A and B are shown apart, each in its own frame.
Chain A
């Protein structure tokens, strides 16, 4: 349970300043909170509500729509096994059973060492590569019991530490938008051409 740290409040304020309305920053701030604590705490939601001028219930209402926000502690790695049609036809159920046995937890559970949370997911838009799963939203395709075991062993041994950042870190490289490029800095009617910093790389 924690409110945003002082440093994150500064970051939050910078993020809020990018939007014409403070409330629009709700989702980015939820990511920030999840990055800080590994999941979104009640205190953090109440804090975000204060920062964006909403009620905690409204922030919670928004946050709870998104599967990727967690409201309870999860492992360092969240493994989502797809259970929708294509994957189901290609043996997702068996894979799930295997995963449960390998990790010693049921779907939704977290291993005792806090390393891995196992979850069932809906279609991950990789149906041609069924059955598939994601580890902190990084794909593994055509997963077999063997390749699953290998994945888990790699995670446990820390061999994927460089490749897969811990859960809650959406992007390894944070966007830092300079103040004069932030959203809302220029009124839409004043924007006549593509911003200079695009260097003509894209048309308006």
Chain B
């Protein structure tokens, strides 16, 4: 309909989109946008063009020539590669002519000339684009009678990925992903020519945190993942869409099982979140759910020993202790569970009059940062500037790293990084400044004084990505730095990158500390005998609290300890009652990612043994305490949750919760910035940074056999010049000490660390750096001596 046919006075004027073009596909006129590729426009219109190398989230390369279509040109129809040809106004495209069919069949015949056709023993068989398209667009027979090319098969190219070169069709998806998306170009085409093959450098494996994605996007069975090899056939898989809760990015996934056992997660393309990508830790930790070591029955301590018991006996004991504790019940954790779990435990804490609860373990930022004006992943990626006051996102929130890297390398985002050492994003930062622990706010102020920086900040939207980069310093330093930035750029928004899976949901639904009574304060109270019943809701303070001494005193001082967990954690071994919890994939519910995005998680398999969802335990206890909440099903919980937290309720009941999720914002708040004073560092000492690596002793990783050995191990990393000063060679043991304790760690010399700073990765196999960390210390200084 053109506007001249209607009464222009009544119609609001719709400005013509200057980027709109109209093209014809198979005789149908369709709208497209300038710059769009023919194959993408066809996809949107439901006209399928076969392809192997094209992937909508990567740049087109035109490697496989399977996507040929006919386009009307000035000299008649011509064949073009539809994944490399942009649309043009008036373009006439045909995807099903004789000529196109011949091209498609010819390409398939050539691709199969050397393909081993070992589909019956190939993991991909049944979900293989080559198999499917050979059937739908192939000639059905081959003129090639020659011997096929042979390679040794398969060969491991990393701990997680195997390569079968005979099956590879050289589409450049894996190599392109490694280079362009992950930024880890550890695989490349080698021996180019008749023997082109994907290969790593000799002795340098494809050890990318994102390697599993290449297995997912390989259009044939050339790349297979060690944890899934020969586990199932695609047609035996059942699947449900869910959200990864390993970290707080909240990647959309499908959870797949076979015979009531989890066998695979695959990334789902959620536009605002993960674009189909996952990190390997999130992808492969389904193995831990299947672990033999899972708790499967409640345990109570009887004459000093934990012994199996029934749920009713165990819950009786817990209810009794809660009653006798009066208000002195404390709940630590909740970030591992669903929103519904957290909500019910918040309700229970209210019911027993507890004012001691915290979903973080002194390892994040004050919950009030969630009340600052919030950004989303998308708004950060489309901002003019992102200021990073955060840990190395590649290590902690891998897919967020991928998104920001993409924005910085392809979309003109400028990143200003304030960090203690080089990170995964340093190479892509517009400015990257090093700052010693405790100096964040001063560093930000110094940056703001730089005219180039301030004019950059004034030139567009500014997003502050803020998280806890160092567990050996007070979180207040980061808060003060955020404050300094917001004071100068009041319109800036904040993307809090608190790392634990559902920490944001737990904090927003009743498990946030009240009046500064945070995890550290609660443990201190417990140590002083003021906690009658300490509930560890998927929390393991003995492993996770940076001040190990405080954790030990807290657990020892609590009169009664209840651990609700999937595994026998270190803390659980000290508990009086241990309750087996249903794991990820074993319960339905919703989760909240770091943006506040609420999306669903699903049950795919039967919970292990008699384990239950955390919310059921809370509901049962409420009943036993005479405060029945009247909930019997998850729907009841969600209904009740909607009355208390209407925004969550609306999100949970919307259909979008099962797709891209709904962002729920927290009530406005402003954390009080009061950075503790920092004493100057003596020139002999090192200022300590304790930060996380993707692979550590976390149970989801350690109990997944394929990843159990990937943790790099404890070490102290210093600048090569400092290593020289200490007089220790790379790899030699050195003594790291301060007033609190002393331990021996291997030294690693790395130019990524500035002089005067020492980095020790957290929760690694080896000596435990937490012995040197005390909660009250503003920063932590250590001495390093060769031995």
Binding site for B on A (CB under 8 A): 42, 45-46, 54-61, 64-65
Contact = CB atoms under 8 A, between A and B. Distances in A.
Contacts of A59: 201
Contact of A54 (B185, B200, B202, B203): B185
Interface of B: 179, 184-193, 199-204
A150 B185 CA distance: 49
A153 to B, nearest CB: 35
A3 to B, nearest CB: 14
B192 A56 contact: no
A58 to B, nearest CB: 5
B186 A55 contact: yes
A54 B179 CA distance: 10
9 contacts: A42-B202, A56-B201, A57-B186, A57-B187, A60-B190, A60-B201, A60-B202, A64-B191, A65-B191
A65 B185 contact: no
B179, B187, B193, B204 pick with most chain A CB within 10 angstroms? B204
Given A57-B188, A57-B200, A58-B179, 10 more contacts: A42-B201, A42-B202, A42-B203, A54-B185, A55-B184, A57-B186, A57-B199, A57-B204, A60-B201, A64-B192
B405 to A, nearest CB: 16
B188 A61 contact: yes
Contact of B185 (A42, A45, A55, A64): A55
A56 B193 CA distance: 20
B201 A57 contact: yes
B204 A56 contact: yes
A60 B200 CA distance: 8
A71 to B, nearest CB: 9
B192 A58 contact: no
B435 to A, nearest CB: 25
Nearest to B201: A56
A65 B200 CA distance: 15
A71 B527 CA distance: 64
| Majority secondary structure, A binding face | helix
Nearest 6 Cβ contacts at the A-B interface? A61-B188, A56-B201, A65-B192, A57-B188, A57-B201, A55-B185
A61 B192 contact: yes
A104 B192 CA distance: 31
A58 B189 CA distance: 8
A60 B203 CA distance: 12
B201 A55 contact: yes
Contacts of A54: 185
Contacts of B204: 46, 56-57
B751 to A, nearest CB: 11
Contacts of A56: 201, 204
Nearest to B186: A57
A60 B192 contact: no
Contacts of B185: 54-55, 57-58
A45 B192 CA distance: 17
A55 B206 CA distance: 11
Contacts of B192: 61, 64-65
Contacts of B200: 57
A58 B193 contact: no
A106 B189 CA distance: 29
Interface centre among A59, A60, A61 (most CB of B within 10 A): A61
A60 B199 contact: yes
A84 to B, nearest CB: 14
B124 to A, nearest CB: 24
Nearest to B183: A55
A180 B501 CA distance: 57
Given A54-B185, A57-B185, A58-B185, A45 B201 contact: yes
A42 B200 CA distance: 12
Nearest to B189: A61
A104 B202 CA distance: 31
Contacts of B193: 65
B190 A46 contact: no
Nearest to A54: B185
Contact of A58 (B188, B191, B203): B188
Contacts of A46: 201, 204
A154 B289 CA distance: 72
Contacts of A42: 201-203
Contacts of B186: 55, 57
Residue among A56, A57, A59 with max Cβ neighbours from chain B (10 Å): A57
A57 B188 CA distance: 6
Nearest to A66: B192
Most buried by B among A42, A46, A55, A56: A55
B29 to A, nearest CB: 43
B306 to A, nearest CB: 50
A91 to B, nearest CB: 25
Nearest to B188: A61
Contacts of A57: 185-188, 190, 199-201, 204
Contacts of B191: 64-65
B201 A64 contact: no
A61 B196 CA distance: 9
A46 B204 CA distance: 10
Contacts of B202: 42, 60
Contacts of A64: 190-192
Nearest to B192: A65
A57 B200 CA distance: 5
A135 B613 CA distance: 76
A54 B191 CA distance: 18
Nearest to A56: B201
Nearest to B195: A64
A45 B201 CA distance: 9
A61 B191 CA distance: 7
Nearest to B196: A65
Nearest to A49: B201
Contacts of B184: 55
B703 to A, nearest CB: 32
A59 B201 CA distance: 9
Instruction: Among B185, B187, B203, find the residue whose CB has the most chain A CB atoms closer than 10 A.
Output: B185
A27 to B, nearest CB: 13
Contacts of B189: 61
A155 B94 CA distance: 64
A11 B190 CA distance: 27
Contacts of B190: 57, 60-61, 64
Nearest to A65: B192
A58 B190 CA distance: 9
A64 B196 CA distance: 9
A41 to B, nearest CB: 10
Nearest to B206: A57
A12 to B, nearest CB: 19
Nearest to B197: A64
A120 to B, nearest CB: 14
Nearest to A55: B185
A60 B187 CA distance: 10
Nearest to B193: A65
B186 to A, nearest CB: 5
Nearest to A42: B202
B280 to A, nearest CB: 18
Nearest to A61: B188
A42 B202 CA distance: 7
Nearest to A53: B427
A65 B195 CA distance: 10
Contacts of A61: 188-190, 192, 199
Contacts of A45: 201
Nearest to A59: B201
Nearest to A71: B202
Contacts of A65: 191-193
B420 to A, nearest CB: 24
A59 B200 CA distance: 11
A64 B192 CA distance: 7
Between B188, B193, B202, B203, the greatest number of chain A beta carbons within 10 A of the residue's beta carbon is seen for B188
Contacts of B179: 58
A48 to B, nearest CB: 11
Contacts of A60: 188, 190, 199, 201-202
Nearest to B185: A55
